[in-house]
Amino acid sequence: MPIRLLPDHIASQIAAGEVIERPSSVVKELVENALDAGSDSITIEVQGAGKRLISVLDSGAGIPTEELALAVSRHATSKLARAEDLFHITTLGFRGEALASIGSVSQMTVESRAVEETVGSHLVVEGGKLGQQDQMGVPVGTRIVVEDLFYNVPARLKFLKTDNTERRHIESLVTRYALAYPQIRWQLLVDGKPSLQTSGNGDRREILSALYGVDIARQMLAVDFKEQDYRIHGFISPVSLTRANRREITIFVNGRWVRDTAVTAAVLRAYHTLLMVGRYPIVTLFLEMPPEAVDVNVHPAKAEVRFRENDLVFSRVQRAVRRALLAYSPVPELRPRQFWGNQPETGTETTGQNWPSAAEIPFPESDANGADPARVQIHTGQLDADKLPLLRLVGQVAATYLIAEGPDGLYLIDQHAAHERVLFEQLMAQQSQERVPAQTLLEPVNVVLPPEKARLLENQLDVLEHIGFDVEPFGPNTFTVRAIPALIVGGDPEAALNVVVEDFEDDETPLAAATEAKLTARICKRMAVKGGQILSMEEQNALLRSLEACQSPRTCPHGRPTMIHLSADLLERQFGRRGAR
C-alpha cells in the first residue's frame, strides 16, 4: 500500500482511541472545558451509564458562533498560542483534541452562546461529520450532548465494563472534581435521579460527606502545608480509617486530577508503620505549584504529569501528610475535660494545650533518595514520635490494662491491643525473612469446611504456607492441619483455620502480600491475650518489653490506640502543683 495522509475523520478516531477510553473520559473532557470556561455552575446528566447519553451544561463564557465549527475540529484550541505556552499552562485543556475526538465516536450536539452574543448557535456532529449550524436562543454558556457513544466503534463498546462500573467511574470523577472546585455548583443526574448536588459555597467538608458519608467526612484530617511557592492541602484519613486498596488516594495537581505513582508513594510513606501492611488511607490532596514546575503534556488524556523537581515534590508531600498525621494522632492524652467530665472546655477539639501542634513536632528531613518509590516499603527510619521510652511496669488494673511509668508521665496500656501489635510485628518480621517458624502438631487435625469455604481455601494454600500453616487437602471439603505458626501455638488450629477462611470470604484480594498481612492481623487478634485475663508480673513485663521493641507501638494492627498517656505535666496541673487553673 502506498503511503498517504489519513483523512481527518480517521485521524480523529485514532486520537479518540487515546483520549476517550470510556464514558467517564467524555465526562472528564467536557467538565474540564466547562471549568476552563469559568463556569460557576455545571450540570451533568448521564443515561445508560453514559453510553446512551452524556450531557454537560455550563454557565461559562460560551463559544462564539463563528468559532463553533472550529471548536469541534482537531487541533483547534483557544488555550494555547505558542509552543512556549506549553510550559506554563494554567488551563485544564490545551491539546484541542477533546471535542473532535468525542464527535468522531458519537452523535454530538453543541449548543452555545458567548457572553457578548444576543443569540446562540447549535451544531450537530455525527461520527466526525459536521452537520448544519443554526441559530438558537439559549442562555449564555454551553451545553454539549453526547449520544450513542462508540456507536461506530463496536470494538470499544466491547471493552467497556458493566454499566455499574462505568457509572461508578463517572460518579467518582464528578465527585472528585466537585471536591477540587467547591465554589462551583455541581449537579449530577444519573438516569434522571440526582446523584450529587453541591451548593457551591466552597465548603469541602460538605462534599466529602457526599463522597464518603458524614461519619468518615468528620474523621478526615485537614492538611495545609506551604513551602516557598508550593501549597499542599486536602484531607487524609486518620490511621484508624483505612481501605483495602489505594483507589481512594486522589491527587490533584494545579486543579487537574492525575495519577501519580511517586506522589502516591510519598503519601504512603508518610503513613509508613502507622498502617497495617495491605491497608491504605483515604486521601485527597491538592498540590499547587507554579505552572512551570510541572509538565502536563505527557499523556494523551492528561491523566499524568511530570514534575521538574520530582524529589522536592515527593519530600514535600510526605512531610505535609506526616505533619498532619502527627498533629492529630499522637498517643491519645487525657485532657482535663475528659478526665473530670466537668471542666470548662478549653482550646479547640484537636489542639487542646496538651496536644503538640504540627509546628512543634521536629520533623526529620527525608533522606536524599526519598523520591525512590521502590524503597518506600523498606524504609526503616523511625520518627521519635513513634518510639516508646523505656517503661517501668507498675501493675495491672481491671485485668485489662497495664500501668507503666515513663520519663514523661504515666501510661495506661490496653493489654489486648498491645499484644496484638506485638504478635503482628513478630509475625510480619518472620514473614519478611521467609521463615515463619511453624510448629508441627503432635496430632494432625482434620477440619471439615462447607463446600464454598473449602474452595476458597484450596486456592490459597500457598499463602497459608507462607504464614506458617501446613494444610493439605484431605478428601472432599476436608483439610488436614499439620502445623500452625509457632507464635500461636496453644491456640485452637481449627479456629485459626476458620479465621483464615472467613478472611478470604471478606476479600478475595489477589495480592498475596495484602492477604497475608490481613490474615496475620486477624490471627493476632484472635490469639492475643484478652481483656479480663489476669497476667503474672513476668507476663506483664514481657509484654511491655516486647511493645517497646515494636516499630509502631502506639497503635494496634487495626489502627486503634494501644495506650493512653497522662503526661507529668498534666498530672502536675491536675493536682494543683503547677499553674493550676
Which residues, in sequence order, are CB contacts of 201 under 8 Å at separation 6+? 182, 183
Whichever of 93 and 557 has its CB closer to ligand ADP, that residue is: 93
Number of shown-chain residues binding Mg ion (CB under 5 A):
3
Whichever of 63 and 275 has its CB closer to Mg ion, that residue is: 63
Phi, psi torsion values for 261, nearest 5 degrees: -70, -35
Whichever of 10 and 115 has its CB closer to ligand ADP, that residue is: 115
Beta-bridge mates of residue 232:
225, 287
The C-alpha cell 447519553 sits at: 53
For residues 38 to 77, the per-residue mask of contacts with Mg ion, x marking binding by CB under 5 A and - elsewhere, is: ----------------------------------------
In the bound state, the residue with its beta carbon closest to ligand ADP is 93
Through-space distance between the first and last CA atoms of the chain, rounded to whole angstroms: 91
CB 69 within 8 A of CB 133: yes
Question: Of ligand ADP, Mg ion, none, which one does residue 24 interact with (CB within 5 to 8 Å by kind)?
Answer: none
User: Which of 93, 278, 281, 561 forms a contact with Mg ion (CB under 5 A)?
Assistant: 93
98 belongs to the binding site for Mg ion (CB under 5 A): yes
Give the three cell numbers for residue 265: 508513594
User: Which of 12, 13, 24, 33 forms a contact with Mg ion (CB under 5 A)?
Assistant: 33
Closest distance of CB 37 from ligand ADP, Å: 3
142 belongs to the binding site for Mg ion (CB under 5 A): no
List contacts with ligand ADP (CB under 6 A). 29, 33-34, 37, 58, 60-63, 71, 76-79, 93-100, 142
Q: Specify the stretch interacting with Mg ion by CB under 5 A; choose among 98-106, 194-202, 432-440, 470-478.
A: 98-106
Q: Tell me the CA distances in angstroms from 443 to 14, 39, 204, 527, one per residue in order.
A: 66, 73, 59, 20
User: Which secondary structure element, helix H or strand E, spans residue 202, and what is its range?
Assistant: none
- If phi > 0 it is left, if psi is from -120 to 50 it is alpha, else beta; for residue 347 that is left
Q: Specify the stretch interacting with Mg ion by CB under 5 A; choose among 8-16, 87-95, 466-474, 479-487.
A: 87-95
d(CA 103, CA 69): 11
Q: DSSP 3-state helix, strand, coil percentages of the chain (rounded to 5)? A: 40, 25, 35
Whichever of 114 and 236 has its CB closer to ligand ADP, that residue is: 114
Whichever of 33 and 555 has its CB closer to Mg ion, that residue is: 33
Q: Tell me the CA distances in angstroms from 28 to 170, 283, 302, 359, 507, one per residue in order.
A: 8, 20, 10, 38, 31
Question: Of ligand ADP, Mg ion, none, which one does residue 63 interact with (CB within 5 to 8 Å by kind)?
Answer: ligand ADP
Whichever of 85 and 206 has its CB closer to ligand ADP, that residue is: 85
d(CA 573, CA 581): 8
Whichever of 100 and 467 has its CB closer to ligand ADP, that residue is: 100
103 belongs to the binding site for Mg ion (CB under 5 A): no
Q: Which parts of this chain interact with Mg ion (CB under 5 A)?
A: 33, 93, 98
